[in-house]
Amino acid sequence: MARAGRRPGPTETREQIIAAARRAFAEQGYDGATVRGIAAEAGVNAALLHHFFGTKQQLFVVAMNFPIDPAEQLPLLLSGPPEQIGERVARLFLALWGDPAGRAPFLAMLRSVASNEQAATMLRQFMVRTVLARLAEARGVPPLRVTAAAAQMIGLVMLRYVVQAPPLVDATDDEIVELIAPVLQNYLTPE
């Protein structure tokens, strides 16, 4: 029965899981999708899926081809001198988008989000749960201020790396950080 070619190999199984995860996140949102449901959809054991991919958050990061896991970045942003968190956030965004390979999945996501509401919902739920809420709580500032800081950086990397606005392309990272970091610092500091 288990002829060669009938039983999927590890790579094939991995691809099936990722495909199932993408469908589930798109159809049910980040909050609605479950590791158990994704495992069932992919025809694998939930424990196996968890063993290979970890939490739902980690599975999402892999499925979306994110170059980084925000769960790993957040402690780095929050460590170090509190009065320099604005600068650390600015440098992280510039580093992530400055690498063309790292930029590709962000661009794909941007297209999806602008094209369909399912993608927007999925990304929104993921961002709120894994980044915005945690950062707001850790810094003791309202989520609105954290979101305003995110808006500044998202707009900036879009204009620098996608639209390629000359003033941002011609400026050095240091010049941009000098201009932007105080704004981020203010947003991320309690009034």
Q: How many CB atoms lie within 10 A of CB 150?
A: 18
Which CB, 39 or 188, lies closer to a second copy?
188
Dihedral, 121, 127, 128, 129 alpha carbons, nearest 10 = 110
Asked whether the beta carbons of 95 and 178 are under 8 A apart, the reply is no
Binding segment for a second copy (CB under 8 A), chosen from 49-57, 63-71, 82-90, 151-159, is: 151-159
Q: Contact with a second copy (CB under 8 A): which of 15, 142, 173, 174?
A: 142
Beta strands in the chain (DSSP E): none
* Candidate residues 123, 135, 181, 188; the one interacting with a second copy per rule CB under 8 A: 123
Contacts (CB under 8 A) with a second copy, residues 159-178: 159, 162-168, 171, 175-176
95 Cα distance to chain centroid: 14
- CA dist 94 and 92 (Å) reads 6
Which residues are near a second copy by CB under 8 A? 29, 107, 110-111, 113-115, 120-121, 123-124, 127-128, 132, 142-148, 150-156, 158-159, 162-168, 171, 175-176, 179-180, 183, 186
